[in-house]
Amino acid sequence: MSIINAYDESEEIVSPKMMTEGLDKLPDTAIAFFRRELIDEVEKRPDFKEYSYYSISGEKMKIYITKVNNKEVILYRTILGGPATVGTMEELHSRGVNKFIFFGSCGELTSSLKKGAFIIPTECYRDEGTSYHYVPASDFIEVETYKELAKIFDENNISYELTKIWTTDGMYKETKNKTKNRIELGCKVVDMECASIMAMAKSRNIKAYQFLYTDDTLDGGKWDLRTLKDDRTPILTHCLEIALKVAEKI
């Protein structure tokens, strides 16, 4: 059976609640990031406190908590790729989280974008496996929250680019022909999670918001590291401040 036939509405054998039974309940809103460097910054800040944890592959991952206008918001580091990211979403959702804000980097497919530009995805090209288990097969999945997120960026005078995004779980198989095709479909950037995140959110009837910053570029079929060779701490800290503004509004 092809992956495009993977969607099935029959009863799930293993539910997230089975994995999280006995763990503490979490606030409604979570901010998720990918880079280890941001943990060092968060642990220096008095406005963030270690609150709880989640487990992945036998490792306990810290969950931090802060308040935004008296609203409790948690912060956690997620893992690269759709399956791990969505698995963690499932478990945190079973503990009470219904709104997820994600930020991270993406690769440019065209160098027309400014270095370090903020991207708000509008649709995701589904070149991964996770999303096909959550929603019926299609080439693209809409990012249902992008207009709401763009409005918050506008209200805070944060510049951004709206674009379709190519989500792939084959980082080392981003070939020249595939890249050319994705550009023709309207994708300006590539990531590894967005389609999976949006499919899970749609399936579970919760909200997921995602913005990214441009990192390396594949323009012209060649790889340019661009900000991959830089210290990411300043842009990650900036992204966190933006995510807190988003958490305040949603």
5 assigned to some structural domain: no
CA-based R_g, the chain, Å: 18
| 117 inside domain | yes
Is residue 235 one of the residues assigned to a domain?
A: yes
Query: Does any domain span residue 241?
Result: yes
Tell me whether residue 14 is in a domain. Answer: no
16 inside domain:
no
Please list the pLDDT of the chain residue by residue as tens digits (250 residues). Answer: 688 888 999 999 999 999 999 899 999 999 999 988 899 999 999 999 999 999 988 889 999 999 999 999 999 999 999 999 999 999 999 999 999 999 999 988 987 777 678 999 999 999 999 999 999 999 999 999 999 999 999 999 999 999 999 999 998 998 989 999 999 999 999 999 999 999 999 999 999 999 999 876 666 565 555 555 566 788 899 999 999 999 999 9
Q: Using CA atoms, how far apart are residues 156 and 150, in angstroms rounded to an integer?
A: 10
Q: Domain residues for 137?
A: 25-249
CB 33 within 8 A of CB 17: no
d(CA 126, CA 132): 8
Residue 49 placed within a domain:
yes
Report pLDDT digits (tens) over 126-167: 999 999 999 999 999 999 999 999 999 999 999 999 999 999
Residue 3 lies in a domain: no
Rounded to 10 degrees, the C-alpha dihedral 241/87/72/214 comes to 10
Compute the distance between CA of residue 115 and CA of residue 161 in angstroms, rounded to an integer. Answer: 12
The CATH number that applies at residue 102 is: 3.40.50.1580
Distance CA 119, CA 82 (A): 19
| Amino acid, single-letter form, for residue 101 | I
What confidence score (pLDDT) does residue 58 get? 82
Q: Structure tokens of 103?
A: 């930020």
**125: buried, middle or exposed (CB in 10 Å: 19+, 13-18, 0-12)?**
buried
For the chain, what is the domain count? 1
